[in-house]
Structure 1
Amino acid sequence: MDRRPVTPPLLDGHLVVDRAGFRLDVRLHVAAGEVVALLGPNGAGKTTALRALAGLQPLDAGRLRLSGVELDHPDARRFVPPERRPVGVVFQDYLLFPHLTARDNVAFGPRRQGLPRRAARARADRWLDRVGLAGYAGRRPRQLSGGQAQRVALARALAVHPTLLLLDEPLAALDARTRLDTRAELHRHLTDHAGAAVLVTHDPLDALALADRLVVVEDGRVVQEGDASAVTSRPRTDYVARLVGLNLHRGRADGRRVRLTDGLALPTADRLDGDAFVVFAPTAVRLHPHRPDDATRPGWPATVAGVHRHGDHLRVQLTGALDTVADVTPAVAAGLRLLPGQQVWASVAAGDTRAYPVGP
């Protein structure tokens, strides 16, 4: 998907929600035809943001516009209730009406919009056909598989012709195989959707596969946003670094090194001065039984905190001067006899690190 945002955005929001001990303060802009993924750890505020967009959680401050129409503006005492918003929602657990057939689940929204029963059912049948469930119109949710229920929920959301489509962890309830197939189907429907779409997920694969742009939220604030390439190549928080499988450290750059502590500076191929981040992959970390004597790979002492299998490698958690993750082959692990509590030396070469400024 390569559909760049245009101005003015279809969705223009400053979402401020206060709850006990938590404040969401997020600016969100989505263009027509654009899919934006909200990523973040549990409790970051992703679902609160989605509920505010849907009208299920009124804003305490800020404002929300969709297609130029103000949906929520506390200062002006303006609030459009959920049922009057041109918004379709696919909930994490789908929330299909258990007593209704797939056809009537999909027809529910159009009926609420005033469409006669026969016309609403005809529209539902068209949408069920589009999601590949034409033969399942008469089945109830308990007679559907997880993937089928997800597609009914998607058809129900799209049947109201929403200007804004919201998806809350839409693939989380599926097994791995069903998730793969359904992700491909969802990608196709999102590509065809002319409105704005916001996807809430904690799964980086879903975000990278489905979204044009990523917005990372932590503790109720946006900490990073951009296209997949920008976010994954230059993470700015530990959460984002873990998400894309990189080690991230912050220090002071001085030419081609980044000083992290009084006694440790990492080499880098990037010339830089000032506050900087430095990142490197776990596979770039080498482990040694003794301090390495290679000047191009300055080492630091580390303690093995844990070892577990990671694909064809073993992932080694290291603590000490730097909390670091290293991926080593089973042969290397056996040669070093890696066990929790063992003392080793770690190193990384300049060509395996990337440095970039802390500021924008």
Structure 2
Amino acid sequence: MTAVPEPVTAARKPFNGPMLDAHLVVDRGTFRLEVALRIAAGEVVALLGPNGAGKTTALRALAGLQPLTDGHLALAGGDLDRPERRVWTPPEDRPIGVVFQDYLLFPHLTAVDNVAFGLRRRGLDRRAARARAETWLARVGLADHGRRKPRQLSGGQAQRVALARALAVDPTLLLLDEPLAALDARTRLDTRAELHRHLTAHPGATLLVTHDPLDALVLADRLVIVEDGRVVQEGDAATVTARPRTDYVARLVGLNLYRGRADGHAVHLADTFTLACADRLDGDAFVVFPPTAVALHPQRPDGSARNTWPATITGIQRHGDNLRVQLAGPITAAADVTPAAAAHLQLTPGQQVWAAVKATETQAYPA
């Protein structure tokens, strides 16, 4: 089989540093993205953030679709973008594979020709490109679908064709833009598991852009959270989910988050409310507890819970097998209760209740 030409020579030399080393600075009107990203070979990093945080801008900058205003972008030690030196590499010359949210398969081409397209662009002859494309379709479980066009494929099958097309060119960096967002719940579950298998086998760096925390937790080795164009938190999934540092991250992982001033086993919040905590801490601190830790009572409870407060129910929504109850009061909070408990308490919006959380259910850590 004919070898695929090297798209960027510098990116294929032996290199011991991070596969991706980028400081992305992009100005778009009044919005500025300034994000540092370093991804090792074989590592999958998830980039998360609310709408408008800059996730898509970062992905477009990495793909070469959005020039950098400042900073740098290097793959395996080779500069692709460095504005101060007037270095910029066109998208087609970057050793990068991209899977877009809507896959962007060519509607007039068969699955095998869609996968072969990038190989042909890299200089492989038609016969060799199709042979390699067929191998990749077999690897993603679509060996019998090579002659089908995109309209004849299901959403999960189209996603796998797009992934095969991106991986077939042996990218140094793989970019995934909400790759599971277009799938229904059942297909998403199966495809997520299959995608995890392929990402584990990919030797290059991978950046997954997503708003779905489950996709990030299942597929990524490390999380990078961006808000308003800046990195606000990063780390492995266990650290980020256990110790959120912004309201967005807390909502993402399903925790109640508060910031205050710790004094021993108490954290004093800005609104004069104090939370008792099992952890001993001094100085600026965060406190978290899960909605499942919040117990609701019709009257002020007696017992061991050291944190109790009067609250007003502002909303009730289905949340998995439970009900998520939104509470206003000295502090805002979310509580998870079973449908049976909600019926017993006759919970309704506007109702006055008492909330209670044991100190042992809280976690305090430095801010």
TM over 0.5: yes
Asked if structure 2 preserves the Cα contact closer than 8 Å seen for 1:24 and 1:49, the reply is yes
Matched, 1:56 2:65: yes
How far off its partner does 1:162 sit? 0.5
Identity %: 75
1:210 is matched with 219
Q: Which residue of 2 aligns with 1:342?
A: 351
Q: Distance in 2 between matches of 1:263 and 1:189?
A: 51
The answer to whether the 8 A contact 1:264-1:300 is kept is no
After superposition, residues 222-233 of structure 1 pair within 5 angstroms as: 222-233=231-242
Deviation at 1:261, TM superposition (A): 4.1
1:302 aligned partner: 311
Q: Given residue 172 of structure 2, which amino acid in structure 1 is its aligned partner?
A: T
Over the aligned positions, Cα root-mean-square deviation in angstroms equals: 1.4
CA contact (8 A) 2:224 2:235 kept: yes
**Matching of residue 328 in structure 1 with residue 337 in structure 2:** yes
CA distance in 2, matches of 1:178, 1:34: 25
DSSP-derived class of the 1:194 partner: coil
Segments of 5+ residues of structure 1 without an aligned counterpart are: 1-5
Name the CA distance, whole Å, in 2 between partners of 1:151 and 1:298.
50
Tell me the CA shift for residue 294 of structure 1: 4.3
Aligned to 1:246: 255
The corresponding residue for 1:29 is 38
Distance across 1 between alignment mates of 2:193 and 2:167:
17
User: Any conservation in 1 of the 2:268–2:275 contact (CA below 8 Å)?
Assistant: yes
Question: Does 2:278 match 1:276?
Answer: no
Change (3 A) 1:154 1:81: same
Runs of 4+ aligned structure 1 residues displaced above 6 Å come to none
Amino acid at match of 2:357: V
**Secondary structure, in 3 states, of the residue corresponding to 1:198?**
strand
SS at match of 1:351: helix
Of 174, 180, 189, 1:171 maps to 180
Offset at residue 332 of structure 1 (A)? 2.9
Per-residue CA deviation, residues 147-200 of structure 1 (Å, 9 max, x unaligned), is: 110010001001111000000000111111111111111111111111100000
Change (3 A) 1:37 1:208: same
Q: Which residue of 1 aligns with 2:7?
A: none
Task: Name the CA shift for 1:173/1:134 in 2 (closer, same or farther; >3 Å).
Answer: same
Paired amino acid for 2:324:
R
Instruction: Tell me what 1:219 maps to.
Output: 228
User: Residues 266 and 348 of structure 1 are in contact (CA less than 8 Å); yes or no, is this contact kept in structure 2?
Assistant: no
* 2:361 equivalent to 1:357: no
Q: Tell me, yes or no, if the aligned pair for 1:7 and 1:31 is still in contact at 8 Å.
A: no
| Mapping of residues 131-170 of structure 1, within 5 Å | 131-170=140-179
Q: Deviations over 1:115-156 (max 9, x none)?
A: 111111111111111111111111110011111100100010
The alignment's TM-score, normalised by the length of structure 2, stands at 0.93
Q: Residue 110 of structure 1 corresponds to which residue in structure 2?
A: 119
Secondary structure at 2:133's aligned position in 1?
helix
Would the alpha carbon gap of residues 350 and 123 (structure 1) be closer, same or farther in structure 2, given more than 3 Å must change?
same
Structure 2's unaligned 5+ residue stretches are 1-14
| One-letter amino acid matched to 1:297 | R
SS at match of 1:326: strand
Residue 253 of structure 1: how far off its partner (Å): 0.6
Contact 1:87 1:164 in 2 (8 A): yes
The aligned amino acid for 2:196 is H
Partner residue, 1:69: 78
- Aligned-partner Cα distance in 2 for 1:312–1:166: 35
CA distance in 2, matches of 1:267, 1:214: 30
The 1:147/1:267 distance shift into structure 2, 3 A limit, reads same
| Higher mean C-alpha displacement, 282-291 vs 226-235 | 282-291
Match of 1:9 among 18, 21, 31: 18
Q: Give the conservation status (yes or no) of the 8 Å contact 2:48–2:223.
A: yes
Check whether the contact 1:72–1:79 (CA below 8 A) recurs between aligned residues.
yes
> How big is the shift at 1:275?
0.6
2: distance between equivalents of 1:313 and 1:274?
Answer: 36
Aligned residue pairs: how many? 353
Task: Say yes or no: does 1:258 pair with 2:267.
Answer: yes
